[in-house]
């Protein structure tokens, strides 16, 4: 009688290993010398791989676990254990719109018009979807929030785009997964690029105890993981010669560290260090400590698809970074901007280089040595003034160089009416 069982229900009751037997060839476990994701025998003549980009709001780097049965993120953990897992990956801005903009364009958010919540993508900014569409890919997207949808211009290049209806701003991860599964079940005669954006939304208020908010956060991650399992299953069953998957946390979240809960207002590691996972043909399990970021997603997926990357992009291919054997220090600029309409006019900007992390907010500044102080407790600004000055100068120079090919978008943040329409204001 099991032949009549809905395969999606079957996935719910079998261990996560079953999911990856679907992704591996002939039910065998992936090995370093075999493609990490394979599926049924292909029917199409175009041998370019299908591409899945999964972005997840409120997903911290320390929530990638060991994949044990019953883990709240069992499916996501298994992807990390089967693929290339970057343990030092960063979101350049702990805000959903800014992060998704960078992931989809390979450019800093402040060059896109997306540094502020409520921003709109510049009309001259190509996206990964538009590049792949021009190259003959079918493109589709399903997102859990209208904040990263058509109103922000992030539908650019997608032939099909599914977002919450006009009566709601956000929807549950499973609703988005259901929309993505329908897209994945369509015509497989052309290679497909699909972006799925899931949100782990949990109520974060000062009145709630930290333990309650941590429980709500973990429950939200479990809903995201269940939705992910459905998406991966549909992706694995699609008839394709090869597949590649990128999973990127858009930002982390504070869960009581430094007495804070939430995201967007700080650049502490818990808010900006995120999971970044790549599963692609020819690579098995690798854990990399090379510093990576959202800037590296577009060059990676473009290269896997065999298309040229636009000149001037600062990112590098993740598969190449993962195979480096020597040390590589990749300086990163971190930034969070909240508009004055939200009562948070101050800009927070940071710089990560070597063991050091510099953070500025107005006249206030922090300097941390993360080798000795991973929890960012000891501010060394007053005791290491020369280090502070040097890093600040290097940050300013790097920022100029990063923005020079694109120009900074100087449009001010969204007004109160637009922010209210997007749910940022009551």
Backbone angles phi, psi at 175, to 5 degrees: -65, -40
Per DSSP bridges, beta strands 261-262 and 254-255 are antiparallel
- Give alpha helix (H) positions in 106-209: 128-134, 173-184
Task: Look at residue 362 in the predicted model and tell me its pLDDT.
Answer: 83
Q: pLDDT > 70: what percent of the chain? A: 77
Residue keyed to tokens 């429950």: 219
Which range among 143-147, 160-164, 211-215, 267-271 shows the weakest confidence by mean pLDDT?
A: 211-215
CATH 3.30.1120.10 region(s) of the chain? 332-421
Q: Which of 240, 306, 288, 321 is nearest to 37 (CA)?
A: 240
Do 266 and 336 meet the contact criterion of CB atoms below 8 Å apart?
Answer: yes
Residue 324 and residue 340: Cα distance in Å, rounded? 43
CATH 3.40.720.10 region(s) of the chain? 47-322
Q: Which of 52, 8, 19, 9 is nearest to 297 (CA)?
A: 52
Do 67 and 74 meet the contact criterion of CB atoms below 8 Å apart?
Answer: yes
Structure-token pair, residue 243: 């597949």
Q: What is the mean pLDDT of residues 312-333?
A: 88
Do 348 and 266 meet the contact criterion of CB atoms below 8 Å apart?
Answer: yes
pLDDT 10s digits, 124-164:
899 999 999 999 999 999 999 999 999 999 999 999 999 99
Residue 156 and residue 195: Cα distance in Å, rounded? 12
pLDDT 10s digits, 400-410:
887 765 655 44
Confidence of residue 201 (pLDDT cuts 50, 70, 90): confident
Do 291 and 91 meet the contact criterion of CB atoms below 8 Å apart?
Answer: no
Residue 29 and residue 20: Cα distance in Å, rounded? 7
Task: Look at residue 113 in the predicted model and tell me its pLDDT.
Answer: 82
Which range among 145-159, 226-240, 328-342 shows the weakest confidence by mean pLDDT?
A: 328-342
Those residues whose C-beta lies under 8 Å from the C-beta of residue 311, and which sit 6 or more positions away, are 405
pLDDT at 204 over 80: no
Those residues whose C-beta lies under 8 Å from the C-beta of residue 249, and which sit 6 or more positions away, are 55, 56, 57, 58, 59, 60, 61, 89, 91, 274, 275, 276
Sheet bearing 276-279, strands edge to edge: 160-162, 138-143, 192-199, 50-57, 243-249, 276-279, 84-86, 286-288
From the options 3.40.720.10, 3.40.50.300, 2.40.70.10, 3.40.50.150, give the CATH code of 47-322: 3.40.720.10
Which range among 26-40, 134-148, 327-341, 405-419 shows the weakest confidence by mean pLDDT?
A: 26-40
Tell me the CATH architecture of domain 332-421. 2-Layer Sandwich (3.30)
Name the packing angle between helices 16-23 and 74-82 (round to 10°): 40
Beta bridge mates, 146: none
DSSP assignment of 86-119, as one string? ETTEE-SSSSHHHHHHHHHHSS-GGGTT-SSTT-
Structure-token pair, residue 284: 């098995």
């Amino acid at each position: 009688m099991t032949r009549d069982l809905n395969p999606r229900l079957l996935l719910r009751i079998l261990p996560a290993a079953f999911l990856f037997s679907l992704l591996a060839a002939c039910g065998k476990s992936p090995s370093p010398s075999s493609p990490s994701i394979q599926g049924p025998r292909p029917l199409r003549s175009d041998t370019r791989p299908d591409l899945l980009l999964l972005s997840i709001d409120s997903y911290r780097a320390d929530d990638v676990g060991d994949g044990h049965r019953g883990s709240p993120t069992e499916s996501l953990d298994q992807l990390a254990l089967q693929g290339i897992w970057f343990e030092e990956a960063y979101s350049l801005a702990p805000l959903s719109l800014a992060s998704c903009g960078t992931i989809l364009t390979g450019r800093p958010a402040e060059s896109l018009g997306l540094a502020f919540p409520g921003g709109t993508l510049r009309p001259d900014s190509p996206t990964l979807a538009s590049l792949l569409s021009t190259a003959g890919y079918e493109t589709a997207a399903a997102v859990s929030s209208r904040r990263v949808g058509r109103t922000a211009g992030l539908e650019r290049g997608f032939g099909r785009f599914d977002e919450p209806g006009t009566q709601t701003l956000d929807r549950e991860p499973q609703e988005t997964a259901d929309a993505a599964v329908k897209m994945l079940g369509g015509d497989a005669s052309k290679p497909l690029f699909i972006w799925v954006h899931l949100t782990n939304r949990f109520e974060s208020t000062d009145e709630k105890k930290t333990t309650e908010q941590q429980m709500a956060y973990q429950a939200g991650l479990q809903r995201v993981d269940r939705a992910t399992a459905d998406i991966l299953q549909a992706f694995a069953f699609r008839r394709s010669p090869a597949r590649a998957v990128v999973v990127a946390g858009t930002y982390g979240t504070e869960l009581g560290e430094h007495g804070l809960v939430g995201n967007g207002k700080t650049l502490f590691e818990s808010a900006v260090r995120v999971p970044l996972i790549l599963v692609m043909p020819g690579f098995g399990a690798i854990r990399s400590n090379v510093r990576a970021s959202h800037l590296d997603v577009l060059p990676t997926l473009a290269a896997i698809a065999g298309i040229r990357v636009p000149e001037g992009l600062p990112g590098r291919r993740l598969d190449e970074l993962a195979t480096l054997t020597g040390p590589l220090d990749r300086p990163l600029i971190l930034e969070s901007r909240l508009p004055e309409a939200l009562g948070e006019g101050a800009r927070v900007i940071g710089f990560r280089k070597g063991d050091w992390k510099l953070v500025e907010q107005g006249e206030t500044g922090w300097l941390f040595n993360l080798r000795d102080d991973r929890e960012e407790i000891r501010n060394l600004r007053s005791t290491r003034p020369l280090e502070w000055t040097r890093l600040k100068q290097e940050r300013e120079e790097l920022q100029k160089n990063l923005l020079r090919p694109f120009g900074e978008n100087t449009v001010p943040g969204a007004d109160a009416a637009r922010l209210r329409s997007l749910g940022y204001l009551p």
